[in-house]
Chains A and B, each alone.
Chain A
């Protein structure tokens, strides 16, 4: 029932770990959800999908891992990095 509050808090945590101008490069938000955490994973996924499709995000998808206990935490983020090698090649070609 409170999955939207939890999803908003997850977004706040993501924003605390990634510079503001790179939030659009976040491609994955990994969340661990315990069976006793009082969270309906499908509902949390739905809320995260909605929030992560909007600015300052846009490309991130959530990956939920179900665990025993009451754990509820953001495990890790995946951030797409600029491809330095291909940029160099473009410059040479120009």
Chain B
């Protein structure tokens, strides 16, 4: 071998070593572009949980949340499905309350500032989404007249309501306020007819009670804020150092998974921002299990029909009614469901709107190997951007997703007030 050839071989070997070293460093060190992308997922510096403006109101909301008297038969409360020790989910594919629900129970952590609520966005405010649950025959299965009567009959509830909102309507005047009734009931049912027979002013008074209960529950849910996951700590370290030191809570696999999440796997197209959700509605081409559930299509129709939407008479001054001017035609979002937050995702199995996937790995693999079957509406072509991933890459993504769990919320906000430790 000539001297020049030996020199070439030596330099080539050196180059290979540099390449291998560079690739090894790539697995842990982050480029400038990657750090920018991670910063977009992190909670902005100085962010603090937004406390409810009225603590007494939030306390009332907390009581209501755990109170089974909100349900039609007195057996279920909001906490029956939104269980605090399961990150406010129930661990079931589909909830079991007054009946079997048809959509997976979403978490309540960090939901306060969401623009839309429920999988189909049928509510445009935190306070109004509660009203959909109370009168859903599969959930709390109550009706608004019975709920107003329940408040009126129970001195503890009546007093708490009065302290914050003033006196309840005189519900004891039976002809004015029948025992049961709701505009949500079938028109020819007893409840439907009873509601229609009421004077408009009395209907309005009962609706106002419903809205006020929603406001109290929303005030409490503003306390359910937590952004302190291992990912958040890693993102903070990454802001100062492109290659933070090893961290047991954020292992090498999670680092690789994060790089995939913000890069090749294209996850941040939809799971963006500090809540890992763009709060939009997407048709993923999920095979249909319930033909009645058309997702955002029916959510838009329910929203437009609701007197409790942001343009309605019960909305507060802070409501953003202007955005309702720009709602799209419902049929354009047939089969689309809201992008769920990935915060606390390891604690909120099963996954997807119908809870069809028991594990995170199965949920990730859906995007790589879409199952065949009848779908509703138009599958979004954005999904075609997602590349094939190796088994190791899938495992890395799952490892990253498991770093999004935050510490449990304080007992003071996750237990019924009467059960709190002194």
Q: Do A and B come from one complex?
A: no
Report B's interface with A, CB cutoff 8 A. Answer: none
